[in-house]
Amino acid sequence: MAKLHQDLPYGTLEWEARYHALRKTIEGMNGYLKDGAREALDDSQRRRIRGVAAQSVFVALLVFAANYHKIVEFMRLVEADGGTRRRPRRRTSRPIMTPELTEDSGG
């Protein structure tokens, strides 16, 4: 049973928090690789060559290109943000749970 042993018990909240985040990351990258406007990995017309080895080389190059594009985009965002790489706020108003500042509270 050592092969099936996991550090986190299957189905617990901790297990879901760890593995669902990883799965979302992997599925996001798969979608990015298959996107026709980007690398279009699932379009066989872009890899017109026979043989598993040759196809594997092309797939590796497409994955490399996708990673390169993601790194370049990240670096562009960091430069535009002044090096802090903070996401812009989505909410323009204060959160509901933030107490209102009143004259009595010194605000």
pLDDT tens by residue, 46-73: 778 888 898 889 889 989 999 999 999 8
Please choose, from the candidates 75, 76, 74, 65, the residue with its C-alpha nearest in 3D space to the C-alpha of residue 38.
Answer: 65
pTM flag (> 0.85): no
Domain assignment present for 75:
yes
In a domain? residue 102: no
Quick check: 99 and 106 in contact, CB under 8 A?
no
In a domain, 107, yes or no: no
Q: Which domain holds residue 29?
A: 9-80
| Domain tally, the chain | 1
What pLDDT sits at residue 107? Answer: 47
Q: Is there a domain that residue 1 lies in?
A: no
Q: 2 lies in a domain?
A: no
Distance CA 57, CA 51 (A): 10
31 assigned to some structural domain = yes
Residue 41 lies in a domain: yes
For the chain, residues with pLDDT lower than 50 are 107
Report pLDDT for 42: 83
Tell whether 100 is covered by a domain.
no
